[in-house]
Structure 1
Amino acid sequence: MQKFRRISALTTSVAIIAYASPLWAQDNGAIGLADIVVTAQKRATNIQDTPIAMRAFDSDAVLNAGISDVNGLSRLAPDLNITNDTQYTKISVRGISSQDHGETADPALTINIDGEYINRPIALNASFFDLERIEVLRGPQGTLYGRNATAGALNIVVAKPKLGEFSGYATGSYGNYKALSAEAAVNIPLGDKVAIRASGMHNEHDGYFNNTPAGRGSAGNTDAARLSIYAEPTEGVRAYLAGEYVNVDTTGVAQYGMVIANNGVLTNPAYAGGLIDAIPSTPQLENGGVPANLQFNPPRKSFPLGDLGYTRIKQYAVRGRLDIDVGSIGTLSYIGGYRDVQSNVSQPLNGYVPTVFIQNYEKNSQTQSHEIRLSGGENGGVIYQVGAFYFHENQYMAQGLFLPLAAGGSYLNYFYRPYVKNKSMAGFAQATVPLVADKLSVTGGIRYTKDKKNALFINYGPRFGRGSTPPPEDASLGFNPTPLNDGQLTWTAGIDYTPSRDHLIYGKVATGYKAGGFDNVSSFGAEKLTAYEIGTKNSFANRTIQFNAAAFYYDYKDQQIPIFLDTSVGAEVVNAGASRIWGIETDTTILLSRNDRFTATVNYLNAELTKFSANLLGLTGTLTDSDPSTPGLQPFNLSGNKPVQSPTWTIALGYDHDFHFGDQKVTASLFSRFKSDYYLQPSNDLATRQKAFTQTDFTLEWVAPNDRFSVQGFVRNIENYRPFAFAGYVNAGGSLLINYVYGSPRTYGIRGTVRF
């Protein structure tokens, strides 16, 4: 708590500096920063009046940044740390993420599309198109958003049909790597009470890496379409229904890999560095399973691959909302959605001779979520929400590690899951009570969640000389992991003080919870988080300056961390005893003049695994520690390490200038992001450390009168730096390997947009 007091003092100091800064735009006339309306609290509020550390971006910002999926969000929200592990997307906020993509794993950041709850990591790659805005909420949101919101929430709000209006837009771009994108939408009124909206997008590009002889890897090819209808059939009733389709059909993710050791012998002694112990042929490796002092300089642009593989994902979704005003009581709302995800992946793993594939990889899921909520009190009284939530998911998974040798090849392993079922139910209530009208209020909320998970696991060992045909279904090899049946209470308590229209000071304590589960080895428990946060949101100089700051301290227990064992077993998820995370975040926006805008984000994060001692299961059953009562277990200790994707410093600076030529305008924009070094594995070994880097974007946009036409030239990642998007180890048959996946290179092109 002493450190938390230091954070509070630092926040106060920064706020004082902001008050003392020159008022850059005192005499600029009637200009000011526009209000942004968000629904982070599941009701409409001004972002500057919302006591949550958050960002929000409208459709123009998303289009200008060229964002077509969740991976591009880091261009707008640099404090989102996003990495790719093959077809999976992992997001970290304030040092909290989910690194496990097993069948019973859950994300740490709640994803919602118009209130539809998205649970599968593979479903996070759904394309972003025809949006109204994106909201990024930092910090646990356990009361209103429920389980798996320990890191925060990502709200994707799509554009809705508008009554009585015929309108639309079309935009397209072309750039290097033969990148071609197109997006369009049309809004059609059907009388005075009904409107429909149709939209679609296509996005493709050649591979970002030269992987001769296979070709170019990490290409892109995505199509998506959405049809929605909105109606107000009678006064006080509003209905919305949308159907969506997304299709991804492209190459696999290009991975660079290398063999570190074969059967306990280093393949290249120069890699040894400070390695002391010989690497054995079993999974028991020193320092928790990895050689901590090995480090490499892998190629980031060009490396050979024997095969590119493929990634094919189809998603079908239906979601809707019904709002009914019930007089003075408030509004009764239903929000629901259904999603079907079908995926088929062949992913080559370089570093093996010959190449080994993750083959016949199917991971299909059907999910549905339903929420019913009663809310009211928007007219200066008690603001309340009370409701219930239900979520159900059923998965099917099959995959094997395939070695293409004689007789058509052999499977080294094969994992088959006929079903994995996940059910969650919750009830919640939250209220904000004014103590002094328009000045002081308190908020309290509570939620109880009940989670159930069960599955059938079938694991096959090596199937030599049988070709690429998957092993036959054999339930006799199956086992049912111990079902999960757990419940958790989460709550929040806060106080908000508004000394004037342009200033907000808030403090709160909130809890978060991420459900437990099971894997091939054992069960693992739920994560639990208690977060303390203070913040302030301010506007100065006739609203030409905005300065927001937040300081937080997290007491994080039982963090779920996957540790890879062996290809015949996969990963075991263990619960770290405790983590301590604290930091401070600032956001500044200044209208320097009518034509000049400056933005700055400065975030400091101090994250540490304070208690993480466990036993790594040894597959040989031999004694690997000093205690003869625990044969087959190897103790390891990662206490003092940093969580993955946790850079100490994140800094982003942006500058926009408008040039006017009569009634036409040209805007030049420069935006640069800096991240200090961070790790991609909890072992914090040098080989999975990403060094500090910067990435800078520049755009030049011409806008015609009335904003009907615009043409933009852009270049993204001017430095052409490709950071690690993933780095991890594989232990197969006595060989230790490391694989790397990289971020995108420099891209540039031209975009044209027409609105009507």
Structure 2
Amino acid sequence: MIKTRYNNRKFLLAGVALAAVAPSSAWAEEVAAESSDYSGEIVITATKLNTSLQQASLSATAVSADTLKENNITDVTGLNGSVPSLVVAKSGGGERMVTIRGIGSETPENLNSQPGVSYHIDGVYIFNSIAANAAFVDVGQVEVLRGPQGTTFGQGSTGGTINVVSREPVLGQFGMNGEVGLGNYNLMNAEVGMDVPVGDTLAFRVYGNRRKHDGYAYATDVEGYDKYDLDDENSTSWKAMARWEPTDNLKVTLATIQYDSNTHGAAQKNVLDPSTDPRILTQDYPGRSKVETDLYYGTVALDVGFATVKSITSYQKLHSEQAWDGDGLNAALFKDVTYWVGANPWETGYFNYDHVALWQSDNESWTQEVNLSSNGEGPFKWIVGGVYLWSKNDQYIVEYRAADNNLVRPPLPVDTAWNDPLVSTLTYASLQSATRKAWAAYFQGTYDLTDKLALTAGIRYNHDEYSGTSASSNGDIPATGSGSYLQPTLSPGLSTNEWTGKLALEYRITPENMLYASYTRGFKPGGLNGTSTSYVNFGWDTGIKPTYQPEVVDSFEIGSKNRFFDNALQLNVSAFYYKYKNMQFLDEDAILYGEGTANAPSANIYGIELEANYRITDSLRLETSVSQLNGEFDADYLALDPVDALAAQNAAGYPDWLFWSNYYAASLARESARKNINGNKVPKLPKWQGSAALVYNGEVGPGELTARVQYQYRGEFFYRVFNNEFYDTTPAYSVVNLYAKYEPKGLPVYFSASVSNLFDEAGVNSRFSDPYGSSQGFETYIAPRQAIFSVGFSF
């Protein structure tokens, strides 16, 4: 089987690259921003029309660099609460799980799987959720498009798209900006950027950032430490970008972004931890996390009169090493405390004492795109293009278990562990490799039927090919480390083809008021599982299949975008209904360690979103957003929760170390725990979510003051499709953030102070069950209260 887990999903890195200055992209239609008196306004530049998003038939939100700073948002996770219907949760190992309107990824553990919300940095498509853990680097704005973007953004955007837009070099103007910030938890943040022009046609921008802080939480029982920090930060990032415009019709952009992080990893607290403090973890294994990403991309855009032709190229590498306390408790608790499954006592013992000593992932990928977009002011605007992607991913896993913590060997290089099957504490080792090739062609156009009515239509053809190898060992008898080694086997290849598209009508009542209705289809490719499952071994149809199917979303949306009272009020509202087919999720198998990706046949998702910005006075404005969402599965599917499977096999008298000597009877016991998910709630879909912010900007004394107070609320949701009340219920939380910035007149400096999570809310970011190994339940928490004081400059 391919045992992919926690932190290595989708190392299919690099999608279509497009610099922020380019007018369009095949994988992603670029959006840019212009400011107004009261709110950031997204402008679509895909057809070089600079059409206001207020006049476009889609739901989107722009979060400006100022708003990111004011709310201490440094990465994707911080967007929770700032965008309607967006949920950023964490999986095992701290991996980000981005969901929009209930659609994202439920299979981060699968090496072949893709996200449901595509993530871009300056138009570069990032397939890898580990890369999405990186901090924002020199950001101008973050744009979130809600709903399937299957035509121009392509596959992997069934839920929507996030596009991070960097600051560009400025032609003909030298400039510098920088900031140093200090805060509690020994936070230190230092950043500096510089624009360097070379004549009037060439400019460079370089930027660097160093950020670190102590852990927000700590483990109590790691040998050699009184407190072993977790949820710490220790990162370095830098960016270099060149912009060259030798003529009026030629633009060339080249860029690289580098990111390096070396920390103790995420704080994942076992839900059975005896400590009642959410920031104190009774764990004894030292976690660690190392992530290195290298991104290179370039765009050449040539205006040939009737249209603009572009070539877009990207290359990306990633190296990641992870280790963590797989059971989430210490050896003493496994020795002295009865292990519980839900509300039922199970047994006392060490057999679920588990450490992930090494989870290493490596990726290399590149893309090439060519597209042609129309110029001119005629009634028909269009874009046509094609793209090719190649990506290779390798993964290495070593896992240990012991009845005595002193017997757990230190982390080994994976090749040493792989050639040492007699290690008494080795329970699992895996080597995997996967390669993906994909190409797509698309066309989209908008025709003005009248001066008020416009029709948009688009179509895209997607082709994907997967291949891979895997080998693994299960050493399931702690006393001897015995278990079988599987020689590397070739996984069955997989090829998928799918059409996606869009059809929309836009009616402009006035220049400030419009209505729209749209149909959009989104698509996410299928992929590969392994072969050691009950379906392969016993022919049980409920077992995990060697391959899983693509998922498809048919979206129907209506909306209205408005400005009233001389543009003092901007009010946007949308309502949508999704028919979600073949949702990919992580399901358990009757055979131990046979888990993999399965397809839930059908679900319905529907909701309403509202965003309103009101300029109360010239100096004071109110920004609000709210979403109300619902969704449930509406077809029969017998799913197996790993928690229930483990309880069933042990109740039948087959703990892990007896499974393989009785594997058919034990598999029957596990199979009996399947439950129908028809009627269950779609995961990561809070019924209510919203925010409200009051912002002041005006002259105070000899300078200008910006002050902001924001309230954010995220409602309760189930983390997994199983809807296990004990393990899956992620409770609601709310936070208040404060910010103030003062800029003295005539000076290029400013001073700022912020407090995020003012009341130190221990909000649960996610609550999930380990699908492998220990089958324990975990919680991760939002960041605690953090106060930061900064001094910056800009000229």
What TM-score range do you get, normalising by the shorter chain?
Answer: 0.7 to 0.9
Tell me which residue corresponds to 2:60.
54
Counterpart of 1:679, as a letter, is F
1:748 aligns with 2:756: no
Residue 496 of structure 1 aligns to a residue whose secondary structure is strand
1:374 aligns with 2:398: no
Residue 585 of structure 1 aligns to a residue whose secondary structure is strand
Report the alpha carbon displacement of residue 206 of structure 1 after superposing the two structures with TM. Answer: 0.5
Residue 475 of structure 2 aligns to a residue whose secondary structure is coil
Report the alpha carbon displacement of residue 41 of structure 1 after superposing the two structures with TM. Answer: 4.6
Residue 325 of structure 2 aligns to a residue whose secondary structure is strand
Instruction: Determine which of 108, 113, 128 is the counterpart of 2:116.
Output: 108
Instruction: Determine which of 568, 572, 579 is the counterpart of 1:548.
Output: 572
For residues 490 and 548 of structure 2, the distance between their equivalents in structure 1, rounded to whole angstroms, comes to: 15
Residue 68 of structure 2 aligns to a residue whose secondary structure is helix
Question: How big is each residue's C-alpha offset from its partner over 1:286-323, in whole Å with a ceiling of 9 and x where there is no partner?
Answer: xxxxxxxxxx9964122222133110011111011110
Instruction: Determine which of 303, 319, 343 is the counterpart of 1:325.
Output: 303
Q: Where do 1:343-742 residues align within 5 Å?
A: 343-349=320-326, 350-351=328-329, 353=331, 356-403=354-401, 406=407, 408=409, 410-417=425-432, 419-437=433-451, 439-462=452-475, 477-520=487-530, 521=533, 522-565=546-589, 569=593, 571-614=595-638, 616=640, 620-622=663-665, 635-658=674-697, 660-687=699-726, 688-705=728-745, 708-730=748-770, 736-742=775-781
Q: Which moved more, 1:362-371 or 1:651-660?
A: 651-660
Counterpart of 2:70, as a letter, is N
Tell me which residue corresponds to 2:259.
246
Q: Which moved more, 1:311-320 or 1:479-488?
A: 479-488
1:337 aligns with 2:287: no
Q: Is residue 82–residue 691 contact of structure 2 (8 Å, CA) maintained in 1?
A: no
Counterpart of 2:710, as a letter, is F
Q: Is residue 413–residue 567 contact of structure 1 (8 Å, CA) maintained in 2?
A: no
Counterpart of 1:621, as a letter, is Y
Residue 621 of structure 1 aligns to a residue whose secondary structure is helix
For residues 760 and 123 of structure 2, the distance between their equivalents in structure 1, rounded to whole angstroms, comes to: 37
Counterpart of 2:290, as a letter, is R
Report the alpha carbon displacement of residue 40 of structure 1 after superposing the two structures with TM. Answer: 7.2
Q: Is residue 81–residue 689 contact of structure 2 (8 Å, CA) maintained in 1?
A: no
1:579–1:218 distance in 2 versus 1, CA, 3 Å? same
Q: Is residue 441–residue 461 contact of structure 2 (8 Å, CA) maintained in 1?
A: yes
Question: How big is each residue's C-alpha offset from its partner over 1:317-374, in whole Å with a ceiling of 9 and x where there is no partner?
Answer: 101111000112x100122211100011111121363762212211111121222110
For residues 326 and 593 of structure 1, the distance between their equivalents in structure 2, rounded to whole angstroms, comes to: 46
1:75–1:258 distance in 2 versus 1, CA, 3 Å? closer
For residues 297 and 309 of structure 1, the distance between their equivalents in structure 2, rounded to whole angstroms, comes to: 19
Report the alpha carbon displacement of residue 741 of structure 1 after superposing the two structures with TM. Answer: 2.1
Q: Is residue 110–residue 149 contact of structure 1 (8 Å, CA) maintained in 2?
A: yes
Tell me which residue corresponds to 1:22.
none
1:706–1:584 distance in 2 versus 1, CA, 3 Å? farther
For residues 680 and 139 of structure 1, the distance between their equivalents in structure 2, rounded to whole angstroms, comes to: 20
Q: Is residue 503–residue 536 contact of structure 1 (8 Å, CA) maintained in 2?
A: yes
Report the alpha carbon displacement of residue 625 of structure 1 after superposing the two structures with TM. Answer: 7.5
Instruction: Flag structure 2 segments of 5+ consecutive residues without an equivalent.
Output: 1-35, 333-352, 410-423, 534-545, 650-658
For residues 258 and 156 of structure 1, the distance between their equivalents in structure 2, rounded to whole angstroms, comes to: 35
Report the alpha carbon displacement of residue 724 of structure 1 after superposing the two structures with TM. Answer: 2.6
Question: How big is each residue's C-alpha offset from its partner over 1:244-282, in whole Å with a ceiling of 9 and x where there is no partner?
Answer: 21001000212222669xxxxxxxxxxxxxxxxxxxxxx
1:565–1:357 distance in 2 versus 1, CA, 3 Å? farther
1:113–1:32 distance in 2 versus 1, CA, 3 Å? closer
Q: Is residue 283–residue 329 contact of structure 2 (8 Å, CA) maintained in 1?
A: no
Tell me which residue corresponds to 1:231.
244
Task: Indicate the percent of aligned positions where both proteins have the same amino acid.
Answer: 23
For residues 129 and 176 of structure 1, the distance between their equivalents in structure 2, rounded to whole angstroms, comes to: 22
For residues 43 and 636 of structure 2, the distance between their equivalents in structure 1, rounded to whole angstroms, comes to: 39
Residue 233 of structure 1 aligns to a residue whose secondary structure is strand
Q: Is residue 590–residue 671 contact of structure 2 (8 Å, CA) maintained in 1?
A: no
For residues 124 and 40 of structure 1, the distance between their equivalents in structure 2, rounded to whole angstroms, comes to: 25
Q: Which moved more, 1:298-307 or 1:647-656?
A: 298-307
Question: How big is each residue's C-alpha offset from its partner over 1:605-660, in whole Å with a ceiling of 9 and x where there is no partner?
Answer: 0111222413649973238879xxxx957542111111221100112111112353
Q: How many residues align?
A: 680
Tell me which residue corresponds to 1:287.
none
Residue 153 of structure 1 aligns to a residue whose secondary structure is strand
For residues 612 and 148 of structure 1, the distance between their equivalents in structure 2, rounded to whole angstroms, comes to: 25
Tell me which residue corresponds to 1:21.
none
Instruction: Flag structure 1 segments of 5+ consecutive residues without an equivalent.
Output: 1-30, 261-295
1:158–1:736 distance in 2 versus 1, CA, 3 Å? closer
For residues 40 and 79 of structure 1, the distance between their equivalents in structure 2, rounded to whole angstroms, comes to: 25
Report the alpha carbon displacement of residue 77 of structure 1 after superposing the two structures with TM. Answer: 2.3
Instruction: Determine which of 95, 102, 105 is the counterpart of 1:98.
Output: 105
Q: Which moved more, 1:373-382 or 1:348-357?
A: 348-357
Tell me which residue corresponds to 2:414.
none
Q: Where do 1:277-316 residues align within 5 Å?
A: 299-316=277-294
- Normalised by the length of structure 1, the TM-score is 0.85
For residues 206 and 378 of structure 1, the distance between their equivalents in structure 2, rounded to whole angstroms, comes to: 55
Q: Is residue 454–residue 506 contact of structure 2 (8 Å, CA) maintained in 1?
A: yes
1:464–1:180 distance in 2 versus 1, CA, 3 Å? farther
Tell me which residue corresponds to 1:268.
none
- Normalised by the length of structure 2, the TM-score is 0.81
Residue 266 of structure 2 aligns to a residue whose secondary structure is coil
1:464–1:168 distance in 2 versus 1, CA, 3 Å? farther
For residues 308 and 612 of structure 1, the distance between their equivalents in structure 2, rounded to whole angstroms, comes to: 43
Tell me which residue corresponds to 1:290.
none
CA RMSD of aligned residues (A): 2.7
Counterpart of 1:194, as a letter, is L
Q: Is residue 512–residue 528 contact of structure 1 (8 Å, CA) maintained in 2?
A: yes
Residue 129 of structure 1 aligns to a residue whose secondary structure is coil
Residue 61 of structure 1 aligns to a residue whose secondary structure is helix
1:549–1:238 distance in 2 versus 1, CA, 3 Å? same
Tell me which residue corresponds to 2:181.
173
Q: Is residue 690–residue 713 contact of structure 2 (8 Å, CA) maintained in 1?
A: yes
Residue 324 of structure 1 aligns to a residue whose secondary structure is strand
